[in-house]
Amino acid sequence: MLLVRCPWCGDRDEAEFRYGGQADVDYPADPHQLDDAAWGEYLFVRANPAGSFDERWVHTAGCRRWFSLVRDTATNEMRPDIPRRREGR
Amino acid sequence: MTSPSNPNRVNASVRAGRIDRTRTLNATVDGRPVHGRPGDTLASAMLAQGDIEVAPSIQLGRPRGVLSADCTEPNALVQLLDGACPEPMLPTTEIELREGLRAETLSGVGWLSQQRDTAGYDKKFVHTDVVVVGAGPSGIAASLAAARGGARVILVDQHRELGGMLLDGRADIAGHPATEWIGRAARELAENEQVRVLTRSAALGYYDHNYLLVAESRTDHMAVPPPSTSRQRLWHVRAKQVVLATGAHERPVVFADNDRPGVMLASAVRSYLNRYAVLPGREAVVFTTSDSAYSTALDLLGAGARVPAIVDTRPEPSARLVEQVRAAGAHVVTSAAVVATTGQHRISGVRVRGLDDDGSLTGWSSEFSCDLLAVSGGWNPAVQLFAQCGGAVRWDPVVAGFVPRTTGGRSAKVVGSARGTYDLAGCLAQGFAAGAEAATLSGFRTAPPPVPQVDGDRQGSRPRPVWLVPDESRPPERCTEHFVDLQRDATVADMYRATETGMRSVQHVKRYTTISTGLDQGKGSGVNAVGVLAEILAANSPGEVGTTTFRPPYTPVPLALFAGRTRGELYDPVRTTPMHHLHVEAGAVFEDVGQWKRARYYPRGAEDMHAAVLRECAAARTGVAVQDVSTLGRIEIVGPDAPVFLDRIYTNGFAKLAVGKARYGMMCGADGMVLDDGVSMRLAEDRYLMSTTTGGAAKVLDWLEEWLQTEWPDLDVYCTSVTEQWAAVAVVGPDSRTVVGRLAPDLDVSADSFGFMRFHETSLTGGIPARISRVSFSGELAFEVNVPRWYGEALWEATMTAGSDLGITPYGTETMHVLRAEKGFVIVGQDTDGTVTPVDLGMDWAVSKQKDFIGKRSLSRPDLVREDRKQLVGLLPTDTTTLLPEGSHLVEPDVSRQPPVPMLGHVTSSYHSAALERTFALGLISRGQQRFGDVVCVPVDGRDVEVEITSPVFYDPEGVRRDGPAQG
Amino acid sequence: MTVPHKVETDTAAAEVATALRHGPLEHRAAEFERRSASGARGVRLREEPFLTQLDLRTSPGSSSAASVADALGLPLPAANRVSGDEHDAVLWLGPDESLIVAPDGRAESLLRTVRTAQQGGSGSVVDVSANRTTLRLSGPMAREVLEKLCSLDLHPRAFGPGDCAQTLLGRVVVVLWQLDHEPGYRIMVRCSFAEYLADLLLDAMAEFLDG
């Protein structure tokens, strides 16, 4: 049982969260400007590193906020992500 | 010196032991009585009366005896017979004796009871600053230091009292017997309310982020357990800091006939003598590779046993120890090994040969008679928990064992013999230091207490492990009586066979030979197997071979413990609507929809589902019927940007929906696949009430929040789940207008005033506030009446009363499915499966051409515009009585049935229809929308059923029934 | 242009209707009493139905948040905290979400108060009074009972009176609110889960019935 730090509620068991995959995969500003290959890339292609990984979680059983953190996929050590783009609400 | 029934029990004047001699406990093993004392284990009680032999071995049927005094025991296994459920494979060395205990001995394998385990199991979640595993000297010291610093401490130990191996020995601490120090420490810890001491508790697993599972045995030691106390409790411990003081296990030695009853670990002999006041033999040869067994020899001599020889593999054992044992009357044979044992059901003698520097036998030999052979192949630090959480180990030649190499987990500190420190002063010093550091790191700054003066075992000269004592006559590959794993009857010859097949990895050899796959998971045999493999492969050290992987659980536990209370009724949440008990009273048969209990149908008299559903359907199509639809998900969406937001979420438009109106909406994932659907109402310019499928409510809310929070934080919109703010009924059928008119006397329900897809707020009779909408999932005239949830029961009763003279009929999910399928309305998750687009469903009408929405870009992906995509169609079996099984494949009639048969699609929904007076189905089939009229086949139970492909709308395709009968 | 919110305005009718309401655990009140225990190792369970509950969304630090707090007469709570007392309280649910709790029957007036205060600013307020019912678990062993179901750290050093959390009891999402040192807790749970949760709690309480 991982211990996930919700930036709002604090440390909670993994069971309170849902995993949201790779962080910072931006929804394209205008999807219709993308050709099929680029759109397919957005839909289906994600990184899968052995090591440091920016990923999203949502605190479904708590405050329902989405947030990102950095997890080492080899050790499960986690640290807070520094928001790259914009603050969550 | 002994009592008659317990010939091996030592007088209290010689050894008090940790037993209560004032009371006797009576147990039965294999039908024979065993008498012991409180404080005994089943093993010590049996040894006290001279029973060293246990059941024969698993494969070879060889006589076996008790080897150990701990959880590494390979031979003395029993099945408990007197518990709530006969439990297999428990080592007698770990069973506390209790009055009335009944057991039978096992030859390495137990039996699974067919009985339901009625004992209680539960769990508990606790947090702590410091958890200390193991209450030997190091663990006690760590706990004391951390607790004195003010930290919250949990101390975990497998046994009933603290002390660990101190209780097996005779050390002094601060000038007094160690038991006094233990007693003081136990009191200090018990009095500190920030400390929790869990005895009879095994740390099973050490997981990421300092999470430990601890199995506490709560009632097994009691003759009569309290009624509501769980038998075992699984503690989920989350710690800031972890101190592992898990101790070490002594390993046996691999030599010919090393499995004879009476061959016992030297530490176990000492434990039985000092802890249990049991002398397992009168004439004991000691065979050792290191210093620790000298203490066993001294204790045996002190208790009146004879020690004919101490056989030491080393050329120069510690002179101090040699002198001590000589003074006590024992003779040390150096550079030697036991090479053979004699005796049938108990050892009667050993032959000893000299060992060269390279480990081969020298010319001389010598024989000693004995009834006990105390062996010590050295010690294995108990690194299992440490390794479970990612800690790596290395071979330490000085310690002659695998010791922790790195820090495991986030912060585990390994202390004492678990890291190869075997002298008491060192253990205490490490424990104090680790405890103080753990407290300090968790916010309670403190310094380690001073280490008291100790007089006990000291580290002397280095051990000389001998992994494989040569056989006197056979080459090693034929050493079929050199046992490496007694529980598995696996020998050195077996290991040779493994390497001769080409295996080199210890992991492969383990699986081939089954060594270390027994109850103890290699705690006894594992390192010896590594040592033997190193010899076979001519490796430089066991470190080159490495260990197998250590996995939880550390000791076996019943699966029932993991289930805990989540069995039977409490297995999974059961969600009910406020009208649930009324459905129960009405005789409803329920089905699970997610966690919800929904009425499936309401049989009358002897009706089966088929008959009940035909009747319910007929009522909905010709009269009036009512369903509890409180389970639908509801989300209130508020804010000035709510219209924009819904336009992006739904495939169809909602921004232009007028206040007071409702609209069916469909939502897709970014990949264009259908995600959920439902009707949303516009309550105000800036306020919508979205409904979702029963199963999709939580998923949809997460989905909405994901987009709002991560992609469109600029939108001023808030979503609030109100699923359970409301209870609701669907009133369906030509007579529904009459019923709703009676329910809501203030409301004009005429077709002119209350149009389709409109809603009104009103009060029901009795003043119940309600929101009533005209939506239909059946094609009939229908209303949905919503009230605050606490009025749900009143609503149902009022509706039944209002429709009683019209024969209002409650209907369940099965009828709802039939009614909607007759109209070709899909159910997300039944007719879709995450690979279906709105276009595949023929719902292009709900896909906006003007605005963008999530998933729109995907709908033009080449794969989604393929002409051969599977599309929703109706399916009519040629034989009107054949019901197609849902999930059946659809195939061309004329293709060969030699696999692989091309699959065209499958049946998604299939029912009997009262209105159509026949069976029908919906399905997804390649190019379906171009194939109306074609006949395809559905293989059912080996025969082909012909079906015609049709439009999915079977009933009232013109939609004339939606507004009900003309009013007059 | 909005549809008149008859739910909020027709107070006279609503009062008449009050008698028709049922809390989801009303029929189990006697059982709760029977399966509760007092004394040094006691723990008690009862339902407190019909509490007024409003889900409040505000932008933290905004002027509309400030005016809502003014109108309520209670500061909006800090993270994981409750402001007010067990009668009138605001519970923190998330960075922009709070739960206003008040005695039965206050929903309409509070909705008006908050909506007025939010006028012109961002935010929302939604009546969720019937969405959850409230269980009150109290007595010296109350924490012991919760620790069988909840993975949160409920030790007094970590969780005390005035603290609240949205979390899981077993597999049920709840709002957990500690009221006092006894300890007493309120557990606010969605109505459909109430029976199951009560079963879980009563099961966990059973060992303290033996005394």
Instruction: With beta carbons under 8 A apart, name residues in chain A contacting C151.
Output: 1, 12-13, 15-16
Bridge partners of B424? none
Closest CA to B579 of B571, B595, B590: B590
Considering the domain boundaries, does residue A89 fall inside one? no
CATH of B121-248+380-455, one of 3.30.1490.270, 3.10.129.10, 3.30.420.40, 3.50.50.60: 3.50.50.60
Considering the domain boundaries, does residue A48 fall inside one? yes
Listed as ranges, residues in chain B with pLDDT below 50 are 1-4, 968
* Nearest beta carbon to residue C10 from set B122, B722, B763: B763
B237, closest residue in chain A (CA to CA): A1
CB B483 within 8 A of CB B493: no
pLDDT reported for residue C4: 41
The answer to whether the peptide bond before residue B900 is cis (omega within 30 degrees of 0) is yes
Total domains present in chain A: 1
Q: Touching check for C95 and chain A: CB below 8 Å? A: yes
Query: In the predicted model, is pLDDT for residue A87 greater than 90?
Result: no
Residues C50-62 have a mean pLDDT of: 94
Residues 149-178 of C with CB under 8 A from A: 151-152, 165-168, 173
Closest CA to B694 of B761, B775, B599, B821: B599
Domain coordinates of chain C in residue numbers? 24-49+131-211, 51-128
In 3-state terms chain B splits into helix, strand, coil percentages (rounded to 5) of 25, 30, 45
Q: Touching check for A79 and chain C: CB below 8 Å? A: no
Instruction: With beta carbons under 8 A apart, name residues in chain A contacting C96.
Output: 89
The CATH number covering residue A18 comes to 3.30.2270.10
CB atoms within 10 A of CB B685: 12
* Whole-number Å distance between alpha carbons of B668 and B772: 28
* Whole-number Å distance between alpha carbons of B203 and C125: 48
Tokens of B620: 């909905």
How many A-C residue pairs are in contact by the CB < 8 A criterion? Answer: 41
B766, closest residue in chain C (CA to CA): C17
**What would the pLDDT profile of B277-304 be if each residue is shown by its tens digit?**
999 999 999 999 999 999 999 999 999 9
pLDDT reported for residue C6: 43
Residues 404-433 of B with CB under 8 A from A: 410
Structural fold of domain B1-117: Ubiquitin-like (UB roll) (3.10.20)
pLDDT reported for residue B968: 45
Q: Touching check for B114 and chain A: CB below 8 Å? A: no
* Whole-number Å distance between alpha carbons of B295 and B455: 13
pLDDT reported for residue B461: 82
* Whole-number Å distance between alpha carbons of A13 and B397: 41
The answer to whether the peptide bond before residue C183 is cis (omega within 30 degrees of 0) is yes
Q: Are strands B943-950 and B935-940 parallel, antiparallel or unpaired?
A: antiparallel
B638, closest residue in chain C (CA to CA): C124
pLDDT reported for residue B965: 86
**Residue A57: which domain range?**
3-25+37-80
Residues C201-205 have a mean pLDDT of: 97
Yes or no, beta carbons of C79 and A65 under 8 Å apart: no
CB C20 within 8 A of CB B770: no
Q: How far is C90 from chain B (nearest CA, A)?
A: 17
Tokens of B937: 């086949």
pLDDT reported for residue B251: 97
B555: CB partners within 8 A, 6+ apart: B71, B94, B158, B202, B204, B215
Residues of chain B with CATH 2.40.30.110: 866-950
B390, closest residue in chain A (CA to CA): A75
Closest CA to B908 of B881, B935, B890: B890
Neighbors of chain B by Cβ distance (3+ pairs < 8 Å): A, C
Q: How far is A13 from chain B (nearest CA, A)?
A: 10
Q: How far is B102 from chain C (nearest CA, A)?
A: 27
Considering the domain boundaries, does residue A14 fall inside one? yes
Q: Touching check for C3 and chain B: CB below 8 Å? A: yes
The CATH number assigned to the domain with range B579-631+725-818 reads: 3.30.1360.120
The model's pTM: 0.94
* Whole-number Å distance between alpha carbons of B676 and B930: 26
pLDDT reported for residue B459: 60
Q: Touching check for B573 and chain A: CB below 8 Å? A: no
* Whole-number Å distance between alpha carbons of C3 and C13: 19
- C51-128: what CATH class? alpha beta
pLDDT reported for residue B967: 58
> CA dihedral defined by B87, B89, B94, B100, rounded to 10 degrees?
40
Q: Touching check for B862 and chain A: CB below 8 Å? A: yes
The CATH number assigned to the domain with range B467-539 reads: 1.10.10
Whose tokens are 């040699």? That residue is B322
In CATH, the architecture of B633-721 is: 2-Layer Sandwich (3.30)
CATH of B866-950, one of 2.60.40.10, 3.30.1330.30, 3.10.20.30, 2.40.30.110: 2.40.30.110
Considering the domain boundaries, does residue A65 fall inside one? yes
Considering the domain boundaries, does residue A49 fall inside one? yes
CB B486 within 8 A of CB B60: no
Yes or no, beta carbons of A63 and C173 under 8 Å apart: no
**What would the pLDDT profile of B123-147 be if each residue is shown by its tens digit?**
999 999 999 999 999 999 999 999 9
Q: Touching check for A62 and chain C: CB below 8 Å? A: yes
* Whole-number Å distance between alpha carbons of B463 and B441: 36
CB atoms within 10 A of CB B756: 17
A67, closest residue in chain B (CA to CA): B710
Residues of chain B with CATH 3.10.20.440: 1-117
pLDDT reported for residue C2: 41
* Whole-number Å distance between alpha carbons of B764 and B115: 55
Q: How far is CA B725 from the centre of its chain?
A: 35
Structural fold of domain C24-49+131-211: Gyrase A; domain 2 (3.30.1360)
Closest CA to B654 of B855, B859, B858, B853: B853
B610: CB partners within 8 A, 6+ apart: B912
Considering the domain boundaries, does residue A58 fall inside one? yes
Whose tokens are 């289906």? That residue is A44
pLDDT reported for residue C16: 65
Q: Touching check for A39 and chain B: CB below 8 Å? A: yes
